[in-house]
Amino acid sequence: MAQSQLYFSREGIHTHLVLPSASVLRLLPELGEPLAAKAWAQIGWGDYRYYGAPDQSLLLGLRALLLPTHAVIAVKGLDDIVTQASAARRIYNLGDSPAVIDAVAAFIARYFLVNRQQQLIKVRNKPCGEAFYRSRGIYIATNTCNNWTSRGLKQAGLRCLPSVNFLPGQVEQSVRRNGYLPEPLQTS
């Protein structure tokens, strides 16, 4: 896959924007640790306590949906989108326009919170290399990770309604209604 593309991915209940790491690093060089020497940046948004927690219990998930909580941004560097995808993941190529990729990178960058020294605020790391940072925004059932991903897709020029895309299937349907089909995954 070309390294100048923008992708949408869905894996189970999680949706992500995937773009060239270089596009993100131009705006947020502090993300060098999770993105170092990686071609791709997989970015997601979610509840501060649930998203990226070692134990994503039902109780924690319900709390995230029902009580307004702070949010985090998940950043994971990928070498190859296809070979690092699970069989349950669907990936959509949204095009290669540099202006669109830059607009989505700017959208993502606006969501990072910084401390008084203007540094990103890291919350946790997962063993898989995914890092979580404090984010702007409040997570609740009416403002989920899927609404956030839809807002990013809207920045990319897709026709969608972020305010009603609460579920991953709704976001994926928006992508399909815009004429995109999933990329075939290569099996080894």
User: Is residue 54, in this structure, part of any structural domain at all?
Assistant: yes
- CA atoms of 180 and 59, how far apart (whole Å): 35
CB–CB of 60/50 below 8 Å? yes
Which residue segment(s) compose the domain that 96 sits in?
Answer: 6-175
Helix axes 98-110, 145-155, angle to 10 degrees: 140
- The b/e string for 40-79 (b: 16+ C-beta within 10 A; e otherwise) is bbbbbbbbbbbbbbeeeeeeebeebeeeebebbbbbbbbe
Query: What's the mean pLDDT when you consider all of the chain?
Result: 90
Residue range 90-113: mean pLDDT, rounded: 95
User: Is residue 186, in this structure, part of any structural domain at all?
Assistant: no
User: Is residue 180, in this structure, part of any structural domain at all?
Assistant: no
User: Is residue 95, in this structure, part of any structural domain at all?
Assistant: yes
Bridge partners for 27 per DSSP: none
User: Is residue 188, in this structure, part of any structural domain at all?
Assistant: no
The count of domains in the chain is: 1
Does this model's pTM top 0.95? My answer is no
In the numeric block, the tokens 């969608």 are attached to: 160
User: Is residue 139, in this structure, part of any structural domain at all?
Assistant: yes
Residue 164 binned pLDDT confidence (cut-offs 50, 70, 90): very high
Note the pLDDT tens digit of each residue in 6-61: 999 998 888 999 999 999 999 999 999 999 899 999 999 999 988 877 788 888 88
User: Is residue 181, in this structure, part of any structural domain at all?
Assistant: no
In the numeric block, the tokens 């791709």 are attached to: 40
Residue 186 binned pLDDT confidence (cut-offs 50, 70, 90): low
- CA atoms of 121 and 173, how far apart (whole Å): 33
